Chains A and B, each alone.
Chain A
Amino acid sequence: MGFGNEGQQKLNSASVLVIGAGGLGCPALLYLAAAGVGKIGVVDGDVVDISNLNRQVLYGESDVGKSKVGVAVERIRQKYYNIAVEGYEQFIDNSNAIALISKYDVVLDCCDNFSTRYLVNDACVLLNKPLVYGAIYQYEGQVSVFNVQDLNGIAHNYRDLFPDPPDAGQIPNCNDTGVLGVLPGIIGTLQATEAIKLIVGLGNILCGKMLYYNLLDQRFNELAIDKNPVSDQKIPASQIEFQDRDYRITCAAVKNIDWDKALEMFFLNPELTAFVDVREKDELPKIEAVPCLALPLSSIAQQINCLLPYENVLVFCKSGLRSDKAVMQLQQADPFRKYYSILGGIMNNLSPNNNKPYAKEV
């Protein structure tokens, strides 16, 4: 009979917040609801895309274009009428994180980007909230439970492993690399498992360690986490400091590149590399030597989907100022491509217009 009536009672009176209703969030939500967690919150500002369907198992083809949270809440309510499901159709950020997380007993980090992971980690440390972390990369996944004391009385968090976020665009997301849909299914289910164990008080929790899973080898590895001496300083000292911190900027620094390196990158991988001209449409001269997408800075945010097919995005303008701004915007809107701002723009001596032997003539 598992953990019996008492355990079931604990689940019924518990509340869990699932951050991200994607590949990890869908299976986690299904199992938390099926287990009878009394109150479930789900936060995500995204809509269902056809490319999500191989792993985001709450959604079907008829849901494409709909709010993930809207569909997820409806599905869970259809299945279990006695669960209080609260949907938040927004992305979590530092203005809403503290208020949202405060309302729940346990938090699941099921998001898909570093900015949100650091933000959720820091908020949960400040609120001393148990955080069940899960993440995937291609054929591997990892799970841990933060802010819960291990046998030595030490509570760890994500910054003990990785004190600082990586540079934006360093790690691609699932849509770019393609994952086997069952991988987030396994990791999200492990997250739900840890949440249920925590609530019920069952077994040994994955605190003070990170569990790694490798799908190709069907291998689990468990690594003990050390308290990193710098991690405490990396976390905002107060909720006010947290709300003032810009997690997006912290995760995004503009990478500059010279024309010769940019052209080299393009000729090495022309299918996955795009030159983007962020000058207004009437600005001359145009670059003829290589194909360029014309996405003026004034409207680049609306045209960001043009960049989806590319891995490397090489942005230029007249002098290199607007391209820096464009890269900042692009990194914030979609941190999963590598963006470069070309130094000196078309005025630079090395630009294809000023420098003829660009075409790798031997």
Chain B
Amino acid sequence: MQLVMPDTGLLIWMMITFLIVLILLKKFAWKPILTMIKEREDSIDSALKSAERAKEEMRSLQSDNEKILAQARHERDQMMKEARDMKDNIVGEAKGKAKEEADKILASAREAIQNEKMAAITELKNQVALLSVDIAEKILKRELSDENKQRDLIGDLLKDTKLN
């Protein structure tokens, strides 16, 4: 029975001591310990969060980089294309101009040739005419030495000539 009977003296000691312990530990142990644990947890939390944020930033930076790279590549391609176009244009234009010039030269050459040819032909014609006249003169001189033959000729000429 004594075993389950609370003892007043011990109860007084226990209550006083335990309450003092509770107050002292609360003030000098539990409060700092719990605050520090909480602070550390918060700092770990925020560190993790900021790391996550940094990762996110890195990822966005990377995608930005890729975007910039793609853009640069695209721009380069465009520039190349433009350059090619420009080259083609220039070459084409140059070709056209050259052809035109060549044509012009050719045309003028042809014209000159034509002119020369015409001049030569005219000259030839004049020479031939002169020669023919000379030949004809000489032939006539010989033929017309005989009277009969003069009459025949005049007759032939008159036959051909139609009076109109």
Genuine A/B complex = no
Question: Measuring CB to CB, which residues of chain B are less than 8 angstroms from any residue of chain A?
Answer: none
